[in-house]
Chain A
Amino acid sequence: MTDDITTKKGKSVSSRDRVDGATYAVVTIALTLAVTIFAFLFLPAIALPMLLAFVFVTAVGWVTYQAEVARILTLIATVLTVLTVGFITFFLFARALPAFLDHGLDLLLVPEQDNGESRWFFWLESVLPSDSTFWNPLSGAYSLIPMIWGTVVVTIIAGAVAGPLGLFGALFISEVASDRLREIIKPGVEILAGIPSIVYGFIGFQVLNGFIQTNFLDDGASFLIAGLVVGVMALPTVVSVGEDALSSVPQSMGDGSVAMGATEWQTMKSISIPAAFSGISAAVILGLGRAIGETMAVAAIMASGTQFADPLFDIFHANTTLTSLIATQYGSASESTVEVLFVAGVMLFVIVASMSIVAQYIERRMQRKLKGQQ
């Protein structure tokens, strides 16, 4: 913008004017947006007029200084996205904080025992039958321990299903299948990921719970069915991420092995899988994250139960998980219960987000390694 801009009519507009105008436009847009956000946060009633003002200013700016306004708009979009992440984190923690302060570590303890003291939770201890009530909002018993255990059991079963099957599926798509078959199976896996969780839940609720009653003499809901269903739901994640990892192994590595006279399976077993191992583990981590966060299927299959299974490994027992606790209790919960539910939400958020970050780190490291930059 150093030269003067010559308009069609031969009049020259100083570049200074243009820059100033653009600056004004950009600053006005940014200001109105900031005011809109503040209004939304603290005085929601006037947020809409402010939003309209922002839209108007933007429209005017778009007509006059399109390039600059476009730039600031994309910046705004970025800032809003980052703000979203920030708001989610902040408001979850903020709503959970009162419960943290009220109950502190009680949320992770076995509730009061005979002597009136809450006990530290030791896994071994609870293998023994315990009669204490873990969750009863009416009497103020808020222990999330059984729900955490429920999440753990469901995730373990789901992992046992999704891990090996997912690895084999990824191998099939990336190495074994012919091109034409791959064109069919890959979208098929994606569609499997697209089936809504409530549909899985409805099938589990209507059919599988009855199935397990006749075939496994159970009284209805069970960890086993919930885990199996969640495993099937996590399967596509494992397959597609694992397949990406396997395909990112350079072709030359496999070719080298084949040139040495190895069979395809030997190449897969000794070259592809070891080279993509970290990517595959990232796939399993992401799949487990998906399983931990799965709500509706679990809530539909196991709607109730807030006590420990006895013994702990009793997979025919039913119990709510962290997610289904939120889904089933939120509607009827009192204010203090809601705060505890937010604590459960914070746990889920932190665990799954950190799993995602770990998986991303592993994937990136593998990519770097395979590209030979390390």
Chain B
Amino acid sequence: MSNAYATTDQLVSAESNIYDRGLDTAIALSVVGFMLGFVTLVNLVPPGASGSTLTTAFGTLLAVVVGAVGITSLASYANVVPVTSQRVRGVGLGLVVSTLALTAFATALPVTMATLLGIMLLAEALAITAAGVSSRLELVDAEPNMSAGLLSGGALGVIGLVMGAAVGGALTGFGSRLWLGGAAVAGVGLFLLTILPREDLGSTLPTAIVVGALGLTIVTGTIGVGWQWNPQTLSGGFTGGAVIPVFLLSGMLLSAWSAAKCRAGFGARGREYGAFLVINLNAFLMVAVMATIVVFVTVKGAGYAVHGLTVGALTALVLLTPALLVAVKFARTPAGTNDWNSGARQLFRVLPLAAVGALAAMFASVLVTGSPLRYVYDYTVQVNRQGKTLDTAVAVTPDTTIGTLLLTALAMVLAVAFFRSFGSLRKVGVQSERARLIRRAVPTVVLVFVMLSTLFLVLGPAPFGLPLGGTLGFAAVVGGAVAASGLVVYPLAGVLTSDEPTLADSAQREAPLFTLGVFGGLGLLLATLLLQPVAGINPQVGPVNLVPVIALGAAVASLALVALTTVAKRSSEETITRRVLAEERRLGLVGAAGFTALLGLHVAVTSTSFTVLGVSVANKGSISWPMVMEAYIPLGAEPGGIMPAIIGTVWLVIGATLFAVPLGVGAAVFLTEYAEQGRFTAVVETATNALWSTPSIVFGLFGAAFLIPRLGGDESLLTGMLVLGFMLLPLVLITSRESIKAVPDEYRDASAALGVTQWETIKSVVLPAAMPGVITGVILGVGRIAGETAPLILVLGSTLNAKAGVNVIDGFQFVSEPPFIVNDALMTASASLPTQVWAVIAAGVSGSPQMGWATAFILLMVVLTFYAVGIMARTYFRRKLNYE
């Protein structure tokens, strides 16, 4: 909350005595017990475990605890994450002590897990009683109230009722009504015992009785490992394997609360500590559940999902480039706060860089030595309803082929990223007359090229029977490519031949050449490149393919510019010059990335691979990921993958977004900017909120009743898109409305004061300001609908083992009668990730659970990626808004 709690720090850092230390250990023991309860509940360690199994389990636990506490205390000692609270320190120490004691116990005595858990409960009961009694006898310093309060009394009374009923029922049977008596006695007894005595006894004795009773039941074997209770009336029953962990979970929660109360000396502060401990344990539980789900699905599905994944080492290196840049940026981020000075913290900044560097070195070593990096494992497939184990491996091969899609996309992303960090070089340096002339000429030439391309596109490469493509087009491509290379070399030559005294000065003087060279060269080469496929040519000079060679040369030249400016910047002292040189360097990086992208684009549009120095760029890259890139292979040795489902999900998401986003944003603009705020907007808002919480299956029913009869009468991809779009619509509307509302009215007023019309204000002031919120909302919403299943199985069906993906782009056809455009791909059912998982379930014994896990894993990763990106975008925009 606020600074009003500053005193809490002083309180908790007071020196602790033996009573405090003991209770800290008791709290720690209950936390350990709570965790062990889960461990036994999920049968990670069965309750009946004993001997070496038990010793191993506790050894592992000890290692984990000692490691975690050790690292934390090291961090605290090094002042990275200072831990000042004596309570936290005490609990940390207690964790180590109690796990040590438990491990010793498990090694020394011939006990089972269940008995040990029972002993833990008994120890807790003893510790709490001792604490309560010593406080009552005024042996320690505490401030108990007169009573533990009705809230605690009520809670313990309910626990007493349940226990009394169970014990009474077990002794007399549930047939007679005697168990009611037992329940009443125990409930009322515990209630009175809680509220009547002073708080120190009232909040310890009843808990100690409950926890002790639970412990005794386990230790004496009344409820042992093999215990079963199967009431005739129920279709299920209870076993020791389930009941003992539940006992432990509830008992430990209770004793943790009680011990925490004692530790803080009862009274208001004791209650606070107790309540906070329970709240913290609950939060820990939620995070643990989430982590368990994700980890579990990963463990179950990842092996199958990445079977046969091979990547060429060079491709892997290309993939690493963005990570490398991000790591560099992270390491360079200046320290923002004052306490950002210790060496340990700086270490954390460079750790990612070191990790990426190590990975890159590993891939490079594969390239150098030529021996692949393989991780060999096996996975299980389902053949004739039987599991069959296959060997597979994840490998990095010394393959030097790079796929065009990957290269172009990554290079483009990098180019855009560099361009965004590039500011401007306008009005820097001196522009020569010749440069000005060329600057004017470049756009004209590009325009001519574009017109030529359009001509060829419309009339074909040989219009009116004239072989223009092979002649005029050829000449244009060669000329354009050569001119582009000239443009890129121009700044390099200009700087090197300049007669300024230093390199830095000449680089600053020739700044106009930099922009001209990089942007002009990029534009001209792009226009040239696009002329090739429409003119049907691919100029070769001898064995050399002209355009990619020039693109490569231009990339190298741009890198040379980078090197040149870096050298110049090192030698320069003047701030302005250094700034200009930094800008020029960024420009050089834009050029390098951009020309690399053009190289990839060339190979993509001409389908001719390009090889230089053993590295080749080809349309078919060296990534092979069967699960994602192949369809199901019936009766094959390998199971293939789920490519159709992935493509289906991609199209569903695209279609839904295209439908919902314009509609939602438009409606939000109208409701917030144009409409009178009143009853109508309130009703629409309520309706959209109601629509948002409408069960997804209802959307499926709606799609089946409304859309399917109107869209071909059968399950189809288009219906799926629209139904998901309907689901996405309310979220887009709600978030867009919120972010438009959040734009301050001052913006609108200022714009209006400048005489700008309402629509212009909305377009250029309100929407740009609201865009971050809208984008975040859309990303999160898309994450939700990407995993949506229920409506899809009504409107899209569920296909197991689809053998081909839908081809929407090639599916468009023009016909002469209404509706003039048809797309069969959109009108047929398709596989999708969520329905594929459902199909595995619905197939029963003939479904392959391994493939189901793998599909679920991929689906989870897709959805979580959307969420992670959405949340990161929100954090990024919020920080930007707050600090800039």
Contact = CB atoms under 8 A, between A and B. Distances in A.
A286 B695 CA distance: 12
19 contacts: A44-B711, A67-B760, A88-B699, A91-B705, A165-B286, A185-B286, A191-B864, A191-B871, A194-B784, A199-B860, A207-B296, A214-B43, A265-B276, A267-B1, A295-B695, A326-B701, A330-B793, A345-B697, A348-B695
B523 to A, nearest CB: 27
Interface stretch (A130-138, A141-149, A167-175, A365-373): A167-175
B656 interface: no
Ordered nearest first, which 9 A-B pairs have the shortest CB separation? A196-B787, A293-B695, A316-B236, A77-B666, A74-B670, A265-B272, A48-B819, A67-B759, A218-B236
A165 B278 CA distance: 11
B540 interface: no
Given A215-B242, A294-B695, A342-B705, A77 B663 contact: yes
A151 to B, nearest CB: 11
A81 interface: yes
Interface string B808-821: 00000000001111
Contact of A327 (B691, B762, B790, B852): B790
A203 interface: yes
B427 interface: no
Contacts of A201: 837-838, 841
B686 A357 contact: yes
Contact of B788 (A196, A200, A269, A299): A196
Interface residues on B, range: 35 or more
Nearest to B785: A196
Nearest to A314: B234
B282 A197 contact: no
Contacts of A269: 275
Interface of B: 1-2, 4-5, 8, 42-43, 228, 230, 233-239, 241-242, 268-269, 271-272, 275-276, 278-280, 282-283, 285-287, 289-290, 293-294, 296-297, 662-667, 669-671, 673-675, 684, 686-702, 704-706, 709-711, 726, 729, 733, 757-760, 762-763, 780, 783-784, 786-790, 793-794, 797, 818-821, 834, 837-838, 840-841, 849, 852-853, 856, 859-860, 863-864, 866-868, 871, 875
Nearest to B283: A172
B863 A195 contact: yes
Contacts of A250: none
A233 B248 CA distance: 25
Given A48-B818, A196-B786, A295-B790, 16 more contacts: A48-B821, A78-B675, A84-B726, A88-B698, A91-B702, A165-B282, A165-B285, A176-B276, A188-B286, A191-B867, A194-B866, A206-B852, A214-B239, A331-B793, A345-B697, A353-B691
B269 A263 contact: yes
Contacts of A185: 283, 286-287
Nearest to A361: B686
Interface stretch (A10-18, A105-113, A117-125, A252-260): A252-260
Given A80-B663, A94-B705, A295-B695, A214 B726 contact: no
Q: Which of the listed residues A168, A259, A310 has the most CB atoms from chain B within 10 Å of its own CB?
A: A168
A218 B697 contact: no
Contact of B787 (A192, A197, A216): A197
A351 to B, nearest CB: 9
Interface string A71-96: 10111111011101101100110110
A222 interface: yes
Contacts of A191: 290, 864, 867-868, 871
B2 A217 contact: no
A74 B282 contact: no
A74 B674 contact: yes
Contact of B268 (A66, A190, A263, A315): A263
A77 B670 contact: yes
B585 to A, nearest CB: 35
A217 B236 contact: yes
Contacts of B860: 195-196, 199
Contacts of A267: 1
A192 B290 CA distance: 6
A333 to B, nearest CB: 11
A262 interface: yes
B759 A66 contact: yes
A92 B789 contact: no
Given A46-B818, A82-B687, A197 B283 contact: no
Interface in A287-307: 289-290, 292-296, 299-300, 303
Nearest to A75: B670
A284 interface: no
A273 B853 CA distance: 42
B43 to A, nearest CB: 8
A327 B695 contact: no
Contacts of A190: 780, 867, 871
A202 B702 contact: no
Contacts of B819: 45-49
Contacts of A88: 691, 694, 698-699, 702, 706, 726
A330 to B, nearest CB: 5
